[in-house]
Structure 1
């Protein structure tokens, strides 16, 4: 099976599994995963962190956003530039700075938010459809995050955030796909391979 078809099949399978979680299960598992994320010392030491805003049945990152701000971290959210097929981070100051954007995801209102300086990015909490224990990550298929990471001046701390049902034996990957050294789920934080990242 060619790579594109393998990815599409796995994406369909994992999303279906995630959708089987009841609302209560999602809330409980999400709270546990985010708690582990909050307690992760390497992440707590970062000054700036880019996080995704929850969409549909993804893990609810909003408690983490509030916690990170409270402990003095600068939090960024991605804005999707559809015309140039890229994401641009903006400084998150609260939910009142958001608007409904691309794909029905809440994102920064660029008329009201300050653009972030990517040279100062210390960490990225990555969404994904599927992850594996070797650091493989598969997104939703548009490649936005891989292009964003490839354009950074340095490699920040990368942490995948998902439910356990999204961690599979093997994610089909290509040379341009970024691997993540850590995965956070409701079971804890796992190191997938020796991380190498640079902090400003």
Structure 2
């Protein structure tokens, strides 16, 4: 099977599994993962963190966003520019500065937010469809995050955020795909780089 076909099939399977999680269970698992993120020392020491606003059945990291702001961290959220096939980060100050954007995702309103400076970015919480313990990630297929991360002047701390059910033994990777440093799920935070021996 061709790599693109493998990705398409895996994406379909994982999204179906994720959609089958009940809203109550999704909330409980999301709260667990947010607690792990908030207590993670490497992330706590970061001054500027780019995150994302959850969409559809994604793990809800809003509790992390709120607590991180309260403790003085600067949070950025991405604005999607489909015509340019890229994302631009803006400084998040609260839900009042969000608007319904591309794909129906809540995104920063450029008229209400300041753009983040790439050189200041310390960490990125990366969403996706599937992940593996070696740091592999498969997104939704548009390549926005790979292009954004490649454009940065330095490599920030990269943490994938997902449910346990999204973690696979191996995710199909292409040469341009960027590996993650850590993987955060409801079970905890694990450093990547080791094969999954389970």
Report the TM range for the smaller structure's normalisation.
over 0.9
How does 1:110-149 map onto structure 2 within 5 Å? 110-149=110-149
Cα distance in 2 for partners of 1:113, 1:27 equals 28
Cα distance in 2 for partners of 1:67, 1:86 equals 28
Query: 1:193 deviation in Å?
Result: 2.1
Equivalence for 1:21 = 21
Which contiguous aligned blocks of 4+ residues in structure 1 show a shift greater than 2 angstroms? none
Query: 1:90 deviation in Å?
Result: 0.3
Scaled by the length of structure 2, the TM-score of the pair is 0.97
Deviations 1:40-94 (A, max 9, x none): 1000000000001000111111111111111101100000011111000000000
Answer yes or no: is 1:33 the counterpart of 2:33.
yes
Gaps of 5+ in 1: 195-200
State the SS of the aligned residue for 2:11: helix
State the SS of the aligned residue for 1:54: coil
Count of aligned positions: 194
Q: Which moved more, 1:16-25 or 1:138-147?
A: 16-25
State the SS of the aligned residue for 2:116: coil
Equivalence for 1:197 = none
Cα distance in 2 for partners of 1:83, 1:192 equals 33
State the SS of the aligned residue for 1:83: helix
Gaps of 5+ in 2: none
How does 1:19-98 map onto structure 2 within 5 Å? 19-98=19-98
Cα distance in 2 for partners of 1:191, 1:36 equals 13
